[in-house]
Amino acid sequence: MDIKILGPGCPKCKTLEKLTREVVEQSGIEATVSKVEDIVAIMNYGVMSTPALVVNEKVVMKGRVPSADELRKLLVN
């Protein structure tokens, strides 16, 4: 699984990255987690509000930081 956190580096973006890494580790999900901070690259996903979560090149959440449980459900399904 390829997971990307889209965001310019704001506090919410950093929180989502930290939470995603924790959930992946705790759930035993095999995934690579990367951070995309380039505005042009973020806009190429059609994202106008950050942070955003991209799983296998599909935007699954944007504009907010989900709870750990909500994030776990997004990643497991």
Catalytic center residues: 10, 13
The phi and psi torsions of 70 (rounded to 5 degrees) equal -65, -40
Rounded to whole angstroms, the Cα distance separating 11 from 71 reads 18
Rounded to whole angstroms, the Cα distance separating 42 from 64 reads 15
